Structure 1
Amino acid sequence: MSAFCVFGMTETLARKAAERAWQKHLESLTKEVRACLTPADEAEWIKVKTEYHLSKGKTIQLSAPFDAPQFAQDFIKLARATGRTSRLEVMRRAPLLDKNGAPRISKATKRQMIGWVPQ
């Protein structure tokens, strides 16, 4: 039995990632530079980073596993209707292949690796 999931990015998840990136960015700045920053600077930086994550950031699993792909398609319709999303895609559990099409073998278990692949 296969499992199907929806992978993609939503605006709320992109914003959370941007806020975490802002905290790391603040830590890298000197005290003097941090003192000069305004809340408007922070809001603008987070807005730009949110747009970046929506357009190019790594997609993440948005749904729980479904038994059939039509349930994942229903989830995609619902997600698009409720908020801003990007790159929503149904993925299924399947054996992973290398660039030549040969199965990838785990070095630890010596078995074929299973992962999420596009449907």
Structure 2
Amino acid sequence: MSTFRVYGMTECKALQLARASTPPKPGESVSEYEERVLERFNVIMESKRKVPLSAPFDAPQYAKQFIEIAKRSGRARDLRIMFPKKVQVMKRNKPVTQTVWQEYTQ
């Protein structure tokens, strides 16, 4: 059984990442902090970065429903359904199995 996830970026996730990567400075006012968070938020939304947005789904139709809800809830970009795939790669001249996330196409 495959596991499917939605990757991309939404306003909600970008704001969460912006707050996590922008610690408040000593003596900084709330409005100054919020302004810095907003600047970081805009950088994240304009970047190409994609992150997992959903919990794992058993079937792609549930991931499609998640995408529909995410699009209605605010700005979103690059929403894609992905699934894990095992591939063989060479590390230190030895074959190893590695999991990569590949886009699901119907």
TM-score over 0.5 for the alignment?
A: yes
Q: Does 1:54 find its partner at 2:45?
A: yes
Gaps of 5+ in 2: none
Give SS of 1:23's match.
coil
Q: More helix per residue: 1 or 2?
A: 1
On the 8 A contact 1:8/1:62 being kept in 2, the answer is yes
Q: Does 1:19 find its partner at 2:4?
A: no
Q: Deviations over 1:21-70 (max 9, x none)?
A: 2217x3xxxxxxx55x5433322221121111122163221112223222
Give SS of 1:22's match.
coil
Q: Which has the larger radius of gyration?
A: 1
Alignment correspondent of 1:112:
97
On the 8 A contact 2:2/2:84 being kept in 1, the answer is yes
After TM superposition, the runs of 4+ consecutive aligned structure 1 residues lying more than 6 A away are none
On the 8 A contact 1:3/1:66 being kept in 2, the answer is yes
Aligned pair count?
A: 103
State the shift of 1:74 in Å. 1.5
Q: Does 1:72 find its partner at 2:73?
A: no
On the 8 A contact 1:4/1:66 being kept in 2, the answer is yes
Q: More strand per residue: 1 or 2?
A: 2
Cα distance in 2 for partners of 1:12, 1:95 equals 31
State the shift of 1:105 in Å. 4.2
TM-score, scaled to structure 1: 0.68
Closer, same or farther: CA 71–115 of 1 in aligned 2, 3 Å: same
Residue 92 of structure 1, aligned match among 49, 73, 83: 83
Gaps of 5+ in 1: 27-33, 97-102
AA in 1 matched with 2:20: R
State the shift of 1:117 in Å. 1.5
